[in-house]
A and B are shown apart, each in its own frame.
Chain A
Amino acid sequence: MIQNQLKNRFAKIIIVAILFAGCHKADTSTPDTFPTTEQTVLNDFADNIAVPQYADLQAAALDLNTKITALNTDATDANIEAARTSWKSLRTVWEQCEGFLFGPVEDNEYDPQMDTWPTDANQFDSLLNSSNALELSDIENLPYSLRGFHPIEYLIFGEDANKSAAELTDRQKQYMMSASADVVNICNSLYSSWTEGSTTFSQQLKTAGNGSTVYETKQEAFNAIVGAMQGICEEVGDGKMKEPYEAQNPNIVESPYSNNSTTDFKNNIIGLQTVYLGKNGSTGITNLVSERNKSLDTKIRSQIAAAISSFDNITIPFEEAIINQRTQVQQTMTALNSLNETIEEELMPFIIQYVQD
């Protein structure tokens, strides 16, 4: 009996203790590593992902310019092939950079300056057939739909990705020279915006919630990063792939001249994966998520991996796949939709719930 009463009293004390403990986060008694991880992830994102990838972009743009200069000097098929390879490498870097489309790339319109789609074919032809000057400064004043990757793509690949160097006219050569110099300048500006000046964007991101004038809280910075992940996932699954798929219209795919669209899409999601996992051993969003919700982390990792590998099932150019490999295209879009849903409905709320500074 006495023992029972004691047990009872003990139970009551526990209940009261629990009631009072209710307001406190039980884990605050032990040092919480979460805020430290937040800062590390932001630092690593800027220093190990964004800045190095923009540096790679700069280098890739310069390489394309070099190859195009060589092609201009000596219009051989080997040189046009080298230019094509370089164009594709530049696209690989750029599409991966699209995994984090926020900040200067967007605010200063570097993205539309070099990657507006579609190319205005009528105006492009009119301009080539005219005697208007095609120096760099002339290209810089053109509408975005006549600048950047896709006009260059058209010039070096031709309608069916098999253009010979001999087909290049003098005007076309002039255009590709100026357009690729323009791309070099844009990529340089993009890189500088993260690295040069008194307040670099890199600094703005790393001081989120701690003096940054762009991100008053860390939560805002993470919202931007995760929002960009979601944005690219949605753009690929719901836009770039779905629109031509539903219309069964090969004319509206992203990189139609180079047959590079599927690779573009895959690289977009690889870019997203880099943001999530980190790069070269750095931390990523995964480190935050796994500290609080291991199963969500596992889910996101596996959904990203599934989406990326599903692209390999599309074995013919995307222009044809929307007609002849519809099941495979559909499967990839489904994988992207699942990932998109997880980011939107679980990862974004996770950030809002746990990133409180």
Chain B
Amino acid sequence: MKKVWIIFLIAGGIATLTRCNKADVFPDDGYDSRLSGGAATVFDATSKAFTHPISGMSARNLQFHELGDAQFEQTFVSAPAPVNSGLGPVFNNVSCISCHHNDGKGTPTAGFNNSSLLIRLSLPGKDANNGPLPIPGFGSQLQDKSVFSSMPEAQVNISYTDVPVTYPDGTVVTLRKPSYQLVNPYIPLPATYELSPRMAPPVFGVGLLQAIPESTILSFADPDDLNGDGISGRPNYVYNDVTKTTDLGRFGLKANVDDLAHQVAFAFQQDMGVTNYIEPQESTEGQLQYDKLSDDPELPDSIINSVIFYVKSLAVPARRNVTDPDVKAGEQLFAQISCAKCHIPTIQTGVDLSLPQISNQRIHPYTDLLLHDMGEGLGDGRPDFLATGTEWRTMPLWGIGLFPKTNGTPFYLHDGRARTIEEAILWHGGEAENAKQQYMNLNKTDRDKILKFLNSL
């Protein structure tokens, strides 16, 4: 009698607990698909979703992160000043946060206080290290603001023309095609030059991207399209002026920067005019508006190091609605129509001895970090190391569904021309033309499922 009772109790207990757990919530592979950044994931879907440190860091690392966090928001002022000295003489904006709004994207305007778009410039041809050829007097980035004693190198006029796109089912979506004119240059611009608009990308999750082994990225590459799927995927190799080596590029919108330290150092030096130990020369050196001050590097080493660590240790926001049937169906369709061939869903990171939380993580960045020909519509006509004038690095899609939250008004693609995810998809061309056509041929219900899936990222 007693035994029967015990068996009954155990069976009842199991049944009850099973009922509570809802087994179907968890995917068959045993991984929680919400964890876009593995252990470096944070659960926050508000405007602050991109701004959180990876959890579980040591007290020392957390303090270092917080120092960088504070610096990321600091406004720089013209030199000499007791604090945050070194802005300009020419610059694009005054703080990291003013372009990377909430550690995200920002606004596709140039020259305003809240602008997040800048223009890269070069002469046709290549420099000695296979990089873009700077324009004398301008360098390879246009600074469209200046301190009082100097002049902006030029101003950027952005205008848009409507481009209607019609789906096979008759639905019409109007895209806006940007055009960029440089006006009021402080000295004459050359007759021919190449121009590339770049919008500040989100800065979270970059530690994880840095921790992806080079061999993994190269394993996605298919430069000669040997598998004949119409998608190449080429690594960019870029010159590092500190180590004097040519390395795999993985940051920047054309994979034109090899590591985070460099990315941050360039941003301080080029975007704000703040020199640092990695890039100690003023962006204006050798130009008419060089400040000739002997204050370089203007940024204390500890500060730039903390900012580098800050972006490296920013967590990735978790996905939402992963068990929604439409979202699941959208995820399948996303793979089915070949989006996932470049926007690789799952990658394993390698080991970063300084930060175990980003090591050996199963992450979902939806990028291969490789260059792809995106067609003339998106092309900038400005090669950047091995990247051609129509190639761009696959944009990571994690967090993309949160842009409306983090940004107020969301903008997508390298220059923010797309106002919705749908517009961004419709701009895809070149190697992605086929996938886009397949998307356009889906019925509205299925297209909406894909969008719903992307909004869950």
Find residues 1-60 in chain A having any chain B CB closer than 8 Å to their own CB. Answer: 12, 15-16, 19-20, 22-23
- Residues on A with C-beta less than 8 A from B78 are 120, 122-123
Interface string of B41-85 (1 = CB under 8 A from A): 001111110000000000000000010001000010111111110
Whether A118 contacts B84 in the complex (CB less than 8 A), given A102-B47, A214-B405, A220-B46, comes out as yes
- Residues on A with C-beta less than 8 A from B12 are 16, 19-20
Establish whether residues A22 and B113, one from each chain, have CB atoms under 8 Å apart when the complex forms: no
Task: Identify which of B13-21, B125-133, B216-224, B251-259 touches chain A.
Answer: B13-21
Whether A112 contacts B46 in the complex (CB less than 8 A), given A107-B408, A118-B81, A121-B77, comes out as no
**Interchain nearest-CB distance for A348 vs B (Å):** 9
The answer to whether B9 has its CB under 8 Å from any CB of chain A is yes
The answer to whether B87 has its CB under 8 Å from any CB of chain A is yes
- Residues on A with C-beta less than 8 A from B79 are 122
- Residues on A with C-beta less than 8 A from B19 are 23
Establish whether residues B147 and A123, one from each chain, have CB atoms under 8 Å apart when the complex forms: yes
- Residues on B with C-beta less than 8 A from A15 are 9
**Interchain nearest-CB distance for A29 vs B (Å):** 18
Establish whether residues B47 and A107, one from each chain, have CB atoms under 8 Å apart when the complex forms: yes
Q: For the complex, what is the distance from the CA of A239 to the CA of B83, rounded to whole Å?
A: 14
Q: Which residue in chain A gives the minimum CB-CB distance to B82?
A: A251
**Interchain nearest-CB distance for A123 vs B (Å):** 5
- Residues on B with C-beta less than 8 A from A108 are 408
- Residues on A with C-beta less than 8 A from B17 are 22
Q: For the complex, what is the distance from the CA of A231 to the CA of B48, rounded to whole Å?
A: 10
- Residues on B with C-beta less than 8 A from A123 are 77-78, 147-148
**Interchain nearest-CB distance for A144 vs B (Å):** 5
Establish whether residues B94 and A145, one from each chain, have CB atoms under 8 Å apart when the complex forms: yes
Establish whether residues A223 and B81, one from each chain, have CB atoms under 8 Å apart when the complex forms: no
- Residues on B with C-beta less than 8 A from A249 are 82-83
Find residues 190-247 in chain B having any chain A CB closer than 8 Å to their own CB. Answer: none
* Tally of chain A residues near chain B (CB < 8 A): 43
* Tally of chain B residues near chain A (CB < 8 A): 39
**Interchain nearest-CB distance for B18 vs A (Å):** 10
Out of B13, B70, B98, which one reaches A243, CB within 8 Å?
B70
Interface string of A105-128 (1 = CB under 8 A from B): 011110011001111111100110
Q: For the complex, what is the distance from the CA of A130 to the CA of B9, rounded to whole Å?
A: 88
Establish whether residues B70 and A144, one from each chain, have CB atoms under 8 Å apart when the complex forms: no
- Residues on B with C-beta less than 8 A from A118 are 75, 77, 81, 83-84
Interface string of A233-247 (1 = CB under 8 A from B): 010001100010000
Q: Which residue in chain A gives the minimum CB-CB distance to B8?
A: A16
- Residues on A with C-beta less than 8 A from B5 are 12
Q: For the complex, what is the distance from the CA of A144 to the CA of B84, rounded to whole Å?
A: 14
**Interchain nearest-CB distance for A70 vs B (Å):** 30
The answer to whether A284 has its CB under 8 Å from any CB of chain B is no
Out of A107, A112, A126, which one reaches B148, CB within 8 Å?
A126
The answer to whether B161 has its CB under 8 Å from any CB of chain A is no
Q: A118-B83, A123-B147, A352-B43 are in contact. List 20 more A-B contacts (CB 8 A).
A: A15-B9, A19-B16, A23-B20, A107-B47, A109-B114, A112-B98, A112-B113, A118-B75, A120-B77, A120-B147, A121-B81, A122-B79, A123-B78, A126-B149, A143-B113, A145-B75, A145-B77, A214-B405, A223-B44, A239-B70
